[in-house]
Amino acid sequence: MKLALNSNLKIIIMNAKKKFLILEGLLFALVFIGCSSSDEDAPLEPTSPTNPEPKVITADRRETFTFTANGTSIQGKIFIPSEYENNKNLPAIFLFDFPEGNHAVATDEFEKVIEAVKAVEGLSSLVIAMDEYKNNDIILPGEFQEYYEIFENLAAYVNDRYTSNTSRTFIARGADAGMVLFTLFFEEQETSLFQNFIATDSANLGLITEMIKNGDVSQNMENKKLHYSYTFNDGINPDNADFDEGNITFIDAVRAQDYSWLDFESVSFMNMTFENAYPTAFADGIAFIFED
């Protein structure tokens, strides 16, 4: 009896050991498979997230260039705002500024035009000027055509290389401003270079005023804007009485014609001088042209 029990006990123990070994093998296999699957899904080496390329912010810049007019090579300069990187179709402002016409003042007109552009919210514009053409007192209208042809070539150069936007503004002060006014009133609409005009403290107004009064200005115009300003002396300097009268007479003549094609604004600056009024005049003129 004892032998039978011992024999049965041995069989039970052996069966138990077999089951344990089987279970142990299954458990090992499951662990191995799980580890293998995890290793396949995971990268061999940790990787850091890829950062996007930082956006390049292009700064305002200035360039010089050379164009040809009247058989002569002339150097020009251009201010290009940072917005130009995303919009090549910007309007252009052409400054007529010759050092000999400044009488040793206002040597920073180019910079003042740029400042005036930046002061108008939402405005981006190219600013173009010639460094110098030749020494000249710019006695108009005798040399109007010569200078007009220069600006035809300058505008064509800018149109080909920088912007084809047809909104061009012509700006000047003092003796140079006469060129702006002659261009407005006497250029042909079919070949018009400019849509907008800013002139301040112009000299040589007599002939222009007479031609306006006599109706000698072409009526074949459309959608022009003129901002005209001057420093009003009002007896402060008796030597400038004729200057005041000339400006007032010119403004009255333009208003009397009431041109349907011209949006006209005139401003007189009190308590300012010819030497210090031009930054304000430029800023007011550009705001009038471009602000709605």
CB 267 within 8 A of CB 284: yes
Residue range 183-227, pLDDT digits in tens: 999 888 788 899 999 999 987 788 889 999 998 887 778 899 999
pLDDT for the residue numbered 224: 95
Distance from chain centroid for Cα 20: 85
Dihedral pair phi/psi, residue 265, rounded to 5°: -135, 135
pLDDT at 4: 44
Give the phi and the psi of residue 237 in degrees, each rounded to 5. Answer: -125, 105
pLDDT tens, residue by residue, 74-83: 999 999 999 9
* Domain limits, the chain: 1-46, 61-290
Q: What's the pLDDT at 232?
A: 78
Burial class (CB in 10 A: 0-12, 13-18, 19+), 166: middle
Cβ–Cβ under 8 Å, residues 274 and 201: yes
Q: Quote the pLDDT of residue 32.
A: 45
Close Cβ partners of 131 (under 8 Å, ≥ 6 residues apart): 64, 75, 76, 77
At the fourth CATH level, the homologous superfamily of domain 61-290 is Alpha/Beta hydrolase fold, catalytic domain (3.40.50.1820)
Q: Which residues of the chain have pLDDT under 70?
A: 1-58, 99-106, 132-142, 233-241
pLDDT of residue 20: 44
Query: What pLDDT does 40 receive?
Result: 45
Task: Compute the residue count for the chain.
Answer: 292
